[in-house]
Structure formats: structure tokens, C-alpha cells
Structure 1
């Protein structure tokens, strides 16, 4: 995926801009500029290109921050992302991160309700998502010994969100359970003094995954591990608060204080992109 460095506006930062600022005109001007520049240089990346722009537009429409016909505005983008998807699926060098970015795009698109339902487009979105999930599971299995726990936990968090929204649990249930059990066992064996900031963040992701998947046994296991260590990382402390409050079936959405994650654009994106019952304030 073509990536352009050193740009001031990124998908993550622009998402935070829309969530924090009520200046509709300025926000939409920034979004227009973001899309135009990506199109001008054929940038299809998630961080600062059309893949990320497509996800963001889809997210903003879903949450009624933008008002327009999602299928109409993303018609051409869908076709471009389809081509990226096929390349990603057949390329043995595609990373977990790239797969998660594409999965996020298709999931968000499937969560949109279009004014005119197009069964063929819906079918294409579903089939592309299935291909990407299969590819991710395969990559996870083949590289299980070399992938960091943090990377694995991000996949599991995404999959817990998928089965809560638009994906058949039976298609991922066995590998999902196996990877969750392996990570929990790994951290149960780790000595408290050996935990680093990355491990603390991983535990937070595992706890969010456990609660979203509604598995009380995992919730208790991860909580016991968290209680056995002294959390040093500030982001991890904030994420634990989110996990404590989080209930994927709660009609009264969990409200996230954006102040807790000020300028942590990647964390705000991760929460927006992976949790079902959530709103920001």
C-alpha cells in the first residue's frame, strides 16, 4: 500500500478533530482537503490515504456526524479498495496491520444503512471481509511464534467486534478461543516484575475483548492478572477504566472522556474502531 510520510493530517487525527470540534465547516473542509490530496497522489494507505478516508467517511455517516448517502459517496472508493483487497489476500508479505485496516473498512461499510439497499454491493462487501478474515487467521497461525502479544491482542479485539456486529461467530470460534487461551496462559506465567508497558496495554485489549465477547471466565482471568501487577502506563490505566465500564449490550453507551486520551489519536481510533457500545464526550 502506497504510504506518504510527514503529512500533517492523518485518519486518526482527523477522527479526533471531528469528535472534539463542533466547527462543522472547518472539519468538512479538512476532510475535503484530506481526500483531494490522497486522490491527487494516488495514496491508498489507511494512515493518510483513501482507505483511511473511506473508513472515516463511513464512520462519520454511521454516527450522524456527516449526512449523505454512504453508497453514493463511497461507490468509487469501494471499487478501489476491492482491488487492494485482492492484492492483499494473494500477497504472502501482507502484514497483520494491513489486513486489520482493510477489515476495518469493510466492517464499517457493512454497519452503514444506505438509503437504497444494493444486494450485489452488500454481497461483495461480505465476501471481501470473509477473505480478509481467513487471510488474517492464516497469517496469525503461521506466525504465531514470532508475532508479539500486542499484535495478537489487537486481532482478537477486532474479531470480538466483528462477531458482535456483522460476522458469523462460527467461522472464527475455534482459532479465536485458542489464541485467547494461549495469551491468558502466557501472562499468567509471567512474573509481575517482567511486565512492560506493551504488556499492560495488551492486557487492556484482552480485557476489552473478553467483555465484548461476553466470556466471564476470561474477564475474571485477565482481571486477576491486572490486579497482580502495578500498572505504570497512563494509557493502560485509562483503558482499564474503559474496560471496567464497558458493556456491549448496554443501551446506555459507555461515554469516553476524550480528555483521558488527549492527543492519543491512535488510542481514540482503536476504541472507535473496535467497541460496539461507545460514545465520546
Structure 2
């Protein structure tokens, strides 16, 4: 691991390190350095700041990779993220990606089981999540004509995970269905030779969404589209394998395919952050 000591790492790289390496001492040393540097320069970003660090710590505690009282360790971070949330909600320039990052933080926090349940903290987490979901839906609607299918599918993948874990489906059901149906129809009308690598990845996300949302009609539609095209991208092929194996009602090992995502930190993060039942086999993978 000496080659990473002097190189800044991201939340996504650090997540991969914890997921695939059993070197507890090195992993925790990297996390400590990550948090210290973010605090030193008041970095609140997700990629290499406190928002990402808070999400990662929450995720690792949820999956018993770290053992701490989550409310105690993230008490001050929660307060900082509340302030970021208000700014994001009132700022007309907030991007979809920024909203999804904040939503991911709150969702992961709500999935944590604290030693001492605090109703006021739980209420604050829920209300902030609702504000962000509303903002995301309005932003999605206002920018529907300029957002790519891939960008839309990432939002829908997050929402499909939300409604299976900690969010009321009725609050997003109509726009969720409309956007999903539009994307499926868009790809049903596309000629097989017109699909590019981004379209292929989008289809994989749509398949995961369909399964996670337990909609067999969508699953069949997307499956038929995927069968009609020739997959060229290796990452896409690996994602299709994940989608084929995925069942949100069971714990599924996709560990045998994890090596296909080496250096694809964003893809590993997307899977870990948006799928209800997913586990990774630990093996040594240097970041």
C-alpha cells in the first residue's frame, strides 16, 4: 500500500478498499487520514470530503465492517450536512448529482441501527430526505429534455432503493412510473445498431431498477431490449451478470464478478449504494 500514501484518494476508492481488503489496520489508517484532511480544509464534498466520509462510515457500520455507535461518531457531521441540505434545496443551481449524494447520506443514516434511538434525530433525517427527494423530482422534471437517459436512470435507481428501504412509495410513484416508462419506450424504438456504451449501461441500470421495484413487466421489456443488441463494453457485460443474478429479496453474492470492476470505483460505489441485497467477497485489491 506504500504507493497510496502520498496520493489523495476518494470516497469511492476507499469504499472499494474496505470492501475487498481484509487489512483492517491499513483500511482504518486510510479512513482516519481521509477524515482528518477533509476537516483540516473544511471540505464538505462527497468525492473527497466530509459528506462522503460520513456516508462511508455509516455504510461500513451498517455492514459491520466498522464497529462504532453511529449516532455518536456522526453527531457533528449530521449537523453540518443539515446545513448543506438547506443550501442545496434553496439553490436553483444545485445539480442532480449533488442531490443524489445528499440523498445517499440520509438514506444510509436511516438504515443504521443506533444503540439509543433518538426520535428528534430520526425526524430530522426523514424531513431532510423528503426535501431532497422533492427537489430532485422538480429538477428532473424541469430538465427532462436535456438530461441524458443515463442521468435519469441513476435517479430512478436511487429511488427504487429508497422505496424498498426507508421512503414511502406513494410520494414518488407517479413521476417514477412516468420516467421509467418513457425510458423503456425510448429504447424500444431505438435501432439495435444505434446503441452506444452509455446506452448499454443505462439498460443495465433499468434492469436493476425493474427488479428492485419488483415490476416483472419492466423486467421482461428491458430483457428483450438487451437481447436485441450486441454488447461491446466489458463493464456492461459484467453489469448484465449482476442484473441477472440480482434478487432484492435475497442476499446475492456477485463476488465472483467483482474483479471485472477493478479500478471501476464509481461502478462499485453505485452498486453498493443503490442495491438492497448485495455482498462482496473480500480479497486483496490495491487502490
TM-score, length basis structure 2? 0.94
1:263: Cα distance to partner? Answer: 1.0
1:250: Cα distance to partner? Answer: 1.5
**Relative to structure 2, which stretch is displaced further, 2-11 or 127-136?**
2-11
Closer/same/farther in 2, CA of residues 211 and 93 from structure 1, 3 Å limit: same
Structure 2 unaligned residues grouped into runs of 5+? 282-287
Closer/same/farther in 2, CA of residues 197 and 5 from structure 1, 3 Å limit: farther
Whether the aligned pair in 1 keeps the contact of 2:251 and 2:278 (CA below 8 Å) is no
1:198: Cα distance to partner? Answer: 0.4
Residue 110 of structure 2 aligns to a residue whose secondary structure is helix
For 2:63 and 2:25, locate their aligned partners in 1 and report how far apart those are by CA, in whole Å.
Answer: 17
Deviations 1:14-37 (A, max 9, x none): 001111111111100100000000
Whether the aligned pair in 2 keeps the contact of 1:251 and 1:277 (CA below 8 Å) is yes
Closer/same/farther in 2, CA of residues 50 and 61 from structure 1, 3 Å limit: same
Deviations 1:136-157 (A, max 9, x none): 0000000000000000000000
Whether the aligned pair in 1 keeps the contact of 2:89 and 2:132 (CA below 8 Å) is yes
Whether the aligned pair in 2 keeps the contact of 1:19 and 1:280 (CA below 8 Å) is yes
For 2:176 and 2:143, locate their aligned partners in 1 and report how far apart those are by CA, in whole Å.
Answer: 15
1:58: Cα distance to partner? Answer: 0.2
1:258: Cα distance to partner? Answer: 1.9
Closer/same/farther in 2, CA of residues 219 and 142 from structure 1, 3 Å limit: same
Whether the aligned pair in 1 keeps the contact of 2:245 and 2:252 (CA below 8 Å) is no
Whether the aligned pair in 1 keeps the contact of 2:254 and 2:279 (CA below 8 Å) is yes
**Higher relative contact order by CA 8 Å / sep ≥ 6: 1 or 2?**
2
Whether the aligned pair in 2 keeps the contact of 1:3 and 1:48 (CA below 8 Å) is no
1:3: Cα distance to partner? Answer: 23
After TM superposition, the structure 1 = structure 2 runs for residues 183-222 of structure 1, keeping only pairs within 5 Å, are 183-222=183-222
Query: Which residue is equivalent to 1:17?
Result: 17
Tell me the C-alpha RMSD between the 2 structures: 3.3
TM-score, length basis structure 1? 0.96
Residue 268 of structure 2 aligns to a residue whose secondary structure is helix
Whether the aligned pair in 1 keeps the contact of 2:70 and 2:112 (CA below 8 Å) is yes
Whether the aligned pair in 1 keeps the contact of 2:252 and 2:279 (CA below 8 Å) is no
**Relative to structure 2, which stretch is displaced further, 225-234 or 1-10?**
1-10
Closer/same/farther in 2, CA of residues 37 and 4 from structure 1, 3 Å limit: farther
Whether the aligned pair in 2 keeps the contact of 1:58 and 1:112 (CA below 8 Å) is yes
Structure 1 unaligned residues grouped into runs of 5+? none
1:4: Cα distance to partner? Answer: 17
Residue 164 of structure 2 aligns to a residue whose secondary structure is helix
For 1:159 and 1:194, locate their aligned partners in 2 and report how far apart those are by CA, in whole Å.
Answer: 28
Residue 236 of structure 1 aligns to a residue whose secondary structure is helix
1:8: Cα distance to partner? Answer: 2.2
Closer/same/farther in 2, CA of residues 146 and 252 from structure 1, 3 Å limit: closer
Closer/same/farther in 2, CA of residues 17 and 169 from structure 1, 3 Å limit: same
For 1:99 and 1:134, locate their aligned partners in 2 and report how far apart those are by CA, in whole Å.
Answer: 10
